[in-house]
A and B are shown apart, each in its own frame.
Chain A
Amino acid sequence: MPAFDTTFDASFDSGPPTGSSSLPVRIIVGGVASHALPIRVSVIDSDLLSGEETVTDRGLLASVWGVVVEVGGVDVSSSVIGDVVVEAEESAARVADFTLHQPSGTVIHTAEWTGRSVRIWLADMSTGVASSLLPLFFGIVDLPIVTPRSGTLSLRCTDNRQGVIGGLSISSIDTLLAAGRWSPVVFDSGASPWVHANDRLSTIPAALDMSPTGALRLTSWVAKSTADLSFSDDDVLADTVGYTDADRSGMANQIEVNFGYRFPRVKAEGHLISYDYLALNLTSFVYWVRDGNYFLQRAAVIAAIQATGGSVISVTWIELPDTAQIIPGTGGAPAGVWLPNPPVDVLYCLGFSAVVSFDYAQQNEEDHRITVANAASIAAVGVVREEISGALEGVYDDTVAVEHNILMYRQQMTTIPPKNLAPVVVGLTNSVNGTLTTDSDRAAAESAMECLISIAMTKIHASHRRHSVSGSIPCNPVLDVDKTVSLDAQGVVAKGKVRRVVHRLNPHDGTAISDFDLSICAIAGIGITHPADDVTAPGGTNDGTSNTLEAPEVIWNGLLGDDNVITITFAGVEETERAKAQTVIESTYAAPLYEDLIEITL
């Protein structure tokens, strides 16, 4: 009989190890779907698409039109009450306003309406169904407005121009506005895409807005040579044509662009020193020795030059004779012999010729005074001046450290070449421009100036196209801010680009009107084009040789009984070469104007 029961014994068994293993399984359940983008093609009569005809004005025939309004993809046309207003202005968002009737007791959560897609078309309803759809507005609800118990919901809608442009990448904006200019000196390089687009746009005479169907488009301010649409008295509503002149004070025709550019130049003065003390004393070697005078030590010459702060670029020594010399005595009889001692003689000289440089840095400041003007406008209305400015400082090493590095290198105390070193030109001051960072070098300065010149030209153009012709026609969806309109009605003959258009439609009272403003660029109003100068930055100052140097002076006390001291004196560095140089550079550029036709009969 076992001492313990089987369960107890089994717990002490040592059989094969047992266990289990686990392998985690992660199953990612991803959303599966395909997505569709419906296409709607509205095929209409060509006269409607060209704008020659509109469904709101059939001449002798009855005009039967309607407004198709979709919100969130749902046709809500039958709920629209009151006016449907669509307003477009160049370089601004297109907005639409309309009101929907809602059954009494309808509970509205306005937040659900914000951001819903909105599409508005003008349609021909002559057959009883909407046809010949022409888009007036594609966008989103920006602001729902409700009055409790009113039974209406008003929607303010936008084409989301700012959101669309703000969502573009910087590179996409640069591609879209490739005709523009941009410089980090003038604009903020960390700006948002929205600000970046407006910065670039400020250099282009063009409007950036969206088509009725929501496509970004860039339209030149310059009216097309052939108008897209022509309106006569037959087209324009009675007593609606008006003209507004731009005020003179806002008609800038001369813009002073002040641009300061500061940068360093590294300079080298190249002095030649020639010294021959036997010649200076009108004597010869043997008589110099006979009289007991000193020989000039080469080390003393070098030390004397370096004591002035100069660097020896090259030196040629007049050596002592390498043959025995008979020293004449009194009456001409030989008094002795001078014997060469080569190991010692090389420490001395009878004169020298040395090229010595003085290196230093100079700050240069170019004060560019650029005048951008339109001469024809000045002749017509006098000078209306504005001013813009900018500045750039070249990024360079500390100039004191630069001078020190050059001195160390020239005097062979270091073999590391300085960033910039002006070649020594004997007798002259020579200079080279400091090597600057790419965002502060000459190219960056030129880019900044070209950017400012373009801004000035655009400002002048903008200020001259503020004349305005307005009018109203039966609603025509083709009339938009990318169009050029020719008008000959009610005593006004004009051609210009559409600056603003407002479509107002009320299906209930039959109102369907398009109000328009034409931007007229004018001085004389006869359509003259005043061409522009090419926008190329004005030239700056040049490096290279400048002033002629005065000869240095050498004084050596080498006669018997003198102190054997050599002193070398160089003329001081000219103040104009050393102190900050300020140069005023003036230039002028013709600003373009593309005058539109305007003629008013009183």
Chain B
Amino acid sequence: MSNSLRFYTDSGMTVQFSLLSAVQTDDGAASAVDSVSYIGSPVTGMKFRDTTSPGTAQIVLSIVDSMTGMQIPASSVRLALSSGALPGATPGASLNLGTQILSGSGNALPVYARIDSAAIAAGTYNNLSLVTSSTIEEPV
């Protein structure tokens, strides 16, 4: 059975978010780039909970570094559940998304990300990704 939780570009969950892209400068002087993605499922009547301890443990969104190719540190990324919380978020820290996420229209959870890199060699860096902890999809 598949799990329908996904990242979306919009709260209406019409388009999946397949790549979080940001442009920074090699001198580290570029402004931070803020993005918002929505985690949810358009399937109705389902809920998503942490696999290890459903309903008790937090679903966690982590910044994962694949440590391959050219690398940019995870501390270049901040995560928050609101745009206002981004400045105070700890660079590189994972984000608790709650003990469950409900599916359906209006329940997509906005996640804000800020990418702000320090001075680093020019290039295209693909070593980072945002990864949710394992969730189980069940009927509500």
Contacts and interface: CB of A to CB of B under 8 A. Distances in A.
Interface of A: 28-46, 49, 73, 115, 117, 119, 130-135, 138, 140, 160, 163-164, 166-169, 172, 213-215
A117 B124 contact: no
Contact of B124 (A33, A34, A46, A130): A130
B3 A39 contact: no
A34 B125 contact: no
B11 interface: yes
B7 A35 contact: yes
A40 B125 contact: yes
B15 A117 contact: yes
A215 B12 CA distance: 14
Given A35-B5, A39-B126, A41-B124, 13 more contacts: A30-B1, A32-B136, A33-B5, A35-B39, A35-B132, A37-B7, A39-B19, A39-B77, A40-B21, A40-B125, A43-B120, A160-B10, A167-B10
Contact of B6 (A28, A35, A214, A215): A35
Contact of B12 (A40, A132, A164): A164
A46 B64 CA distance: 27
Interface of B: 1-7, 9-27, 29-30, 34-37, 39, 51, 64, 72, 76-77, 106, 113, 115, 117, 120-126, 128-139
A40 B136 contact: no
Given A35-B6, A163-B15, A49 B132 contact: no
Contacts of A135: 21, 23
A117 B126 CA distance: 18
A28 B77 CA distance: 37
Contacts of A140: 15
Given A32-B136, A49-B23, A43 B7 contact: no
Q: Which 4 A-B pairs have the closest CB atoms?
A: A167-B12, A31-B3, A33-B3, A46-B25
A34 B7 CA distance: 11
A38 B1 contact: no
Contacts of A132: 122
A36 B131 contact: yes
A38 B29 CA distance: 23
A73 B129 CA distance: 15
B135 to A, nearest CB: 7
A45 B115 contact: no
B9 A214 contact: yes
A41 B128 contact: yes
A449 to B, nearest CB: 33
A167 B126 contact: no
Nearest to B26: A43
B11 A42 contact: no
A123 B11 CA distance: 31
6 contacts: A42-B22, A43-B120, A46-B29, A134-B23, A160-B14, A213-B35
A41 B70 CA distance: 10
Contacts of B3: 30-33, 35
Contact of A133 (B26, B29, B39, B124): B124
Nearest to B105: A167
B133 A34 contact: yes
B124 A40 contact: yes
B38 to A, nearest CB: 9
Contacts of A214: 9
A502 B122 CA distance: 27
B129 A37 contact: yes
A214 B123 CA distance: 22
A42 B24 contact: yes
Contacts of A40: 19-22, 124-126
A76 to B, nearest CB: 15
Contacts of A131: 122-124
A37 B26 CA distance: 24
A41 B138 CA distance: 35
A115 B14 CA distance: 9
B30 A166 contact: no
Contact of B135 (A33, A44, A166): A33
B122 A32 contact: no
A32 B15 CA distance: 22
A46 B126 contact: no
A31 B136 contact: yes
A81 B117 CA distance: 35
A119 B19 CA distance: 9
Contacts of B19: 37-40, 73, 117, 119, 138
A31 B2 contact: yes
Nearest to A117: B18
A164 B133 contact: no
Contact of A160 (B15, B21, B134, B137): B15
A591 to B, nearest CB: 33
Given A30-B3, A42-B124, A213-B21, A172 B131 contact: no
A32 to B, nearest CB: 5
A133 B131 CA distance: 24
Contact of A36 (B11, B22, B64): B64
A36 B125 contact: no
Contacts of B11: 167-169, 172
A38 B14 contact: no
A42 B138 CA distance: 38
B25 to A, nearest CB: 4
B125 to A, nearest CB: 4
A41 B126 CA distance: 7
A138 B27 CA distance: 26
